Structure 1
Amino acid sequence: MPQTHVITGAGSGIGKAIAERLSARGDRLILVARDSGRAEELAQEFGAEASVAADLRHPESLAGAFGQAGLPASIDSIVHAAGIVELGPVAELPADAWTSQLAVNLVSAAEITRLLLPAVRAARGQVVFVNSGAGLTAHPEWSAYAASKHGLKALADALRGEEAPHGVRVTSVYPGRAATPMQQKVHDQEGRDYDPSRFIDPESVATAVLTALDLPRDAVMSDVTVRPGPR
Structure 2
Amino acid sequence: MPTTLITGASGGIGSALARALAGTHDLILTGRGGAALDALCAEVGGRPLRLDLTRPETFEEALAGLGRVSNVVHNAGVVELGAVAEQGHAVWTHTLAVNTVAPAELTRLLLPGVRQERGTIVFVNSGAGLSANAGWGSYAASKFALKALADALRAEEAEGGVRVTSVYPGRTATEMQRKVRVQEGATYTPEAFIDPQTLARTIAFVLNAPRDATLTDITVRPGPPA
Q: Structure 1 counterpart of 2:25, which letter? A: D
Judged with a 3 Å threshold, the aligned counterparts in structure 2 of structure 1 residues 39 and 66 are, in CA distance, closer, same or farther, namely farther
The residue that corresponds to 1:111 in the other structure is: 105
Query: Residue 15 of structure 2 contacts residue 40 of structure 2 at CA under 8 Å; is this kept in 1?
Result: no
Unaligned runs of at least 5 residues, structure 2: none
Whether 2:10 is the aligned partner of 1:11: answer yes
Query: Where does 1:117-196 land on structure 2 (aligned, <5 Å)?
Result: 117-196=111-190
The residue that corresponds to 2:30 in the other structure is: 32
Query: Residue 78 of structure 1 contacts residue 127 of structure 1 at CA under 8 Å; is this kept in 2?
Result: yes
Task: Give the Cα–Cα distance (whole angstroms) in 1 for the partners of residues 63 and 82 of structure 2.
Answer: 33
The residue that corresponds to 1:62 in the other structure is: 59
TM superposition shift of 1:202: 0.8
The residue that corresponds to 1:47 in the other structure is: 45
Q: Structure 2 counterpart of 1:222, which letter? A: T
Task: Quote the sequence identity (%).
Answer: 54
Whether 2:196 is the aligned partner of 1:202: answer yes
Scaled by the length of structure 1, the TM-score of the pair is 0.93
Aligned pair partner of 1:87 in 69, 81, 104: 81
The residue that corresponds to 2:69 in the other structure is: 75
Unaligned runs of at least 5 residues, structure 1: none
TM superposition shift of 1:214: 1.4
Judged with a 3 Å threshold, the aligned counterparts in structure 2 of structure 1 residues 39 and 203 are, in CA distance, closer, same or farther, namely closer
Query: Residue 36 of structure 1 contacts residue 53 of structure 1 at CA under 8 Å; is this kept in 2?
Result: no
- For these two proteins, the number of residue pairs brought into alignment is 225
Aligned residue for 1:104, secondary structure, equals helix
Query: Residue 83 of structure 2 contacts residue 137 of structure 2 at CA under 8 Å; is this kept in 1?
Result: yes
Whether 2:16 is the aligned partner of 1:22: answer no
* Alignment deviations for residues 49-102 of structure 1 (CA, whole Å, 9 cap, x no partner): x222110011122122112xx212x32210011011000001111211111111
Judged with a 3 Å threshold, the aligned counterparts in structure 2 of structure 1 residues 57 and 42 are, in CA distance, closer, same or farther, namely farther
Task: Give the Cα–Cα distance (whole angstroms) in 1 for the partners of residues 118 and 205 of structure 2.
Answer: 17
Q: Structure 2 counterpart of 1:61, which letter? A: T
Whether 2:221 is the aligned partner of 1:224: answer no
* Alignment deviations for residues 83-135 of structure 1 (CA, whole Å, 9 cap, x no partner): 11000001111211111111111100011111100110110000000100000
Scaled by the length of structure 2, the TM-score of the pair is 0.95
Query: Residue 39 of structure 1 contacts residue 53 of structure 1 at CA under 8 Å; is this kept in 2?
Result: no
Task: Give the Cα–Cα distance (whole angstroms) in 2 for the partners of residues 128 and 212 of structure 1.
Answer: 8
TM superposition shift of 1:45: 3.6
Task: Give the Cα–Cα distance (whole angstroms) in 2 for the partners of residues 118 and 38 of structure 1.
Answer: 30
Judged with a 3 Å threshold, the aligned counterparts in structure 2 of structure 1 residues 39 and 193 are, in CA distance, closer, same or farther, namely closer
Following TM superposition, the consecutive aligned residue runs of length 4 or more in structure 1 with deviations greater than 6 angstroms are none
Aligned residue for 1:225, secondary structure, equals strand
Task: Give the Cα–Cα distance (whole angstroms) in 1 for the partners of residues 137 and 95 of structure 2.
Answer: 11
Task: Give the Cα–Cα distance (whole angstroms) in 2 for the partners of residues 175 and 31 of structure 1.
Answer: 21
Task: Give the Cα–Cα distance (whole angstroms) in 1 for the partners of residues 130 and 50 of structure 2.
Answer: 31
Judged with a 3 Å threshold, the aligned counterparts in structure 2 of structure 1 residues 38 and 197 are, in CA distance, closer, same or farther, namely closer
Task: Give the Cα–Cα distance (whole angstroms) in 1 for the partners of residues 188 and 50 of structure 2.
Answer: 32
Aligned residue for 1:86, secondary structure, equals coil
